[in-house]
Amino acid sequence: MATITAAMVKELRDKTGAGMMDCKQALNESGGEMEAAVDWLRKKGLSKAAKKAGRVAAEGLIGVVVSPAKGAMVEVNSETDFVARNEQFQGLVKMIAQVALDVGGDVEKIKAAKVGDVTVETAISDAIATIGENMSLRRAAQLSVGSGVVASYVHSSVTDGLGKIGVMVALESTGQKDELAALGRQVAMHIASTNPLAIDPSGVDPSVVKREKDILADKFRQQGKPEAMIDKITESGLKTFYKEQTLLEQAFIFDDKKSVAQALKEAEGKIGGPVKVTGFVRYALGEGIEKQESDFAAEVAAAAGTN
C-alpha cells in the first residue's frame, strides 16, 4: 500500500480545493496516484453537487458583458451571499456571461457550450464541488442592434460587470457612438431604478392591462361613479398607469420634468441622429425565487453538535 504523505494531501488539496480528509481518502483509494485521485474527487464532487441540488439558491450574482453592438446578461445563483465575494465564483459568472454573448440567451445552449475542454455545465458542477454550495444558471439574455450601442449598468456591483441588479438597453442610432453610449448608460440606470414593464404601452402584456382596467373599474364603481362613465375614466386611469410603468412615458430620473422619450429626443442633436430604444432587459438577483427562512445560529450549533 502506498504511503500517503502530508505533502501529497496538500498538493491534491491545492489542485482541487477539496477538504483535507477527502483528499487523503482519494489518495488512499487511488494508491497514491495524483491524477487518479483528482478523478476520484471529481466524481465524488459531482455526487456532492447532486445532493446539494435540492437547496434553495437565491443569492449569487448578475453578470453583464457588452461589446459595442451586442450585450449579454446572466443570473447565476448560489445559496449564500458569501459566495458572491468568492473570486472563483465571480470568474465563473463572468465566463458564463461571455459564453452567452457568443451563443445567445438560451440557458441549455449556454450549459452545453464548451470552454476549453469542459462544458459550462461541467464547470458549474466543478464549482459546486469545490466551493461547497448549490449553484445554478437561472436565466440569460442577449441584446443586439444593427447600428447603435447596447449599454449596461450594474447596481450594487462587487466588481466590474457583476452585481445585484443588471440592466442592458439597446439604442438604435447612426449617431456618435460615445455620446450614444453615455446616454445609454443613463437610460440603463433609469431602468434599474424604475423597473418599467415595457418600452411603451404597446409592449405591456394584455393580461396586465386587463387586470389594471378591472381594478380601476371596480375602484370607480365603489366611489359611486355612474356606470356610463366607467369606461371613459378607466381609460384616463390607464394613461396614468402607462406613465408610471412604461419606459418612454416615465419621468426621467435625471430630469423629472421630462419623460424618457423627451430626454432621448433632446439628446439627438448632441448625438447627431435619431435615437430609438429597441429593447431592454433588467434582472434583479433572486426575484421570484421563494427563499427558505432558516435559523442560521441553530444550523451552526447543530453542525457543531451542540444542539
* Residue 105: C-alpha distances to residues 127, 168, 178 (Å): 22, 13, 26
pLDDT tens digits for range 161-205: 999 999 999 999 999 999 999 999 999 999 999 999 999 999 999
> Domain range holding 76?
59-201+246-284
CATH of residue 218: 1.10.286
- Amino acid letter for position 109: K
pLDDT tens digits for range 248-284: 999 999 999 999 999 999 999 999 999 999 999 999 9
> HSE (CB half, 13 Å, CA atoms) of 241?
20
User: In this structure, what C-alpha cell is assigned to residue 244?
Assistant: 408610471
CATH of residue 117: 3.30.479.20
- Please, where are the H alpha helices in 138-286? 177-194, 206-222, 227-245, 260-271
> Hunting for cell 500517503 — which residue is that?
4
SS3 of 237, please? helix
Q: Which residues contact 37 (CB under 8 A, 6 or more apart)?
A: 12, 23, 26, 27, 29, 30
State whether 48 and 121 are in the same domain: no
Residue (of 130, 166, 134, 150) closest to 17 by Cα position:
130
Q: 47 pLDDT exceeds 60?
A: no
State whether 64 and 146 are in the same domain: yes
State whether 156 and 269 are in the same domain: yes
Q: 307 in a domain, yes or no?
A: no
How many structural domains compose the chain?
Answer: 3
Q: What's the mean pLDDT when you consider all of the chain?
A: 87
State whether 230 and 269 are in the same domain: no
Q: 124 in a domain, yes or no?
A: yes
Provide the pLDDT for residue 307: 43
Q: 295 in a domain, yes or no?
A: no
pTM, rounded to two decimals: 0.75
State whether 151 and 36 are in the same domain: no
Q: Which residues contact 10 (CB under 8 A, 6 or more apart)?
A: none
State whether 161 and 240 are in the same domain: no
> HSE (CB half, 13 Å, CA atoms) of 227?
0
Neighbours of 268 (CB within 10 A): 15
d(CA 253, CA 204): 21
Q: 69 in a domain, yes or no?
A: yes
State whether 170 and 140 are in the same domain: yes
State whether 145 and 93 are in the same domain: yes
